[in-house]
Amino acid sequence: MKKWAWRVAFRAAKIIDGVPGFVAASLVILWLAGGAFGVLWVLVWALRSAYDAAF
């Protein structure tokens, strides 16, 4: 795994509050592997998490 990918994963872990780092890292790895579909899945997951946190 490239170092920049891990840096992105750890930044994502800091941005996503209350989510363990390995979960955020796995999402980033999925995004890197999945391309456009991975991006869509992560966006849906993030929106759903934000909605659940807000309500």
Query: What does the pLDDT look like over 1-52, one tens digit per residue?
Result: 567 776 776 676 666 655 666 677 777 777 777 766 767 777 787 878 878 8
- pLDDT value of position 19: 61
- For the chain, the domain total comes to 1
CA distance linking residue 45 with residue 27, whole number of Å:
9
- pLDDT value of position 36: 64
- pLDDT value of position 38: 67
Q: Which domain range does residue 30 map to?
A: 3-54
CA distance linking residue 13 with residue 9, whole number of Å:
6
Question: Where does residue 18 fall: left (phi above 0), alpha (psi -120 to 50 degrees), or beta otherwise?
Answer: left
- pLDDT value of position 48: 85
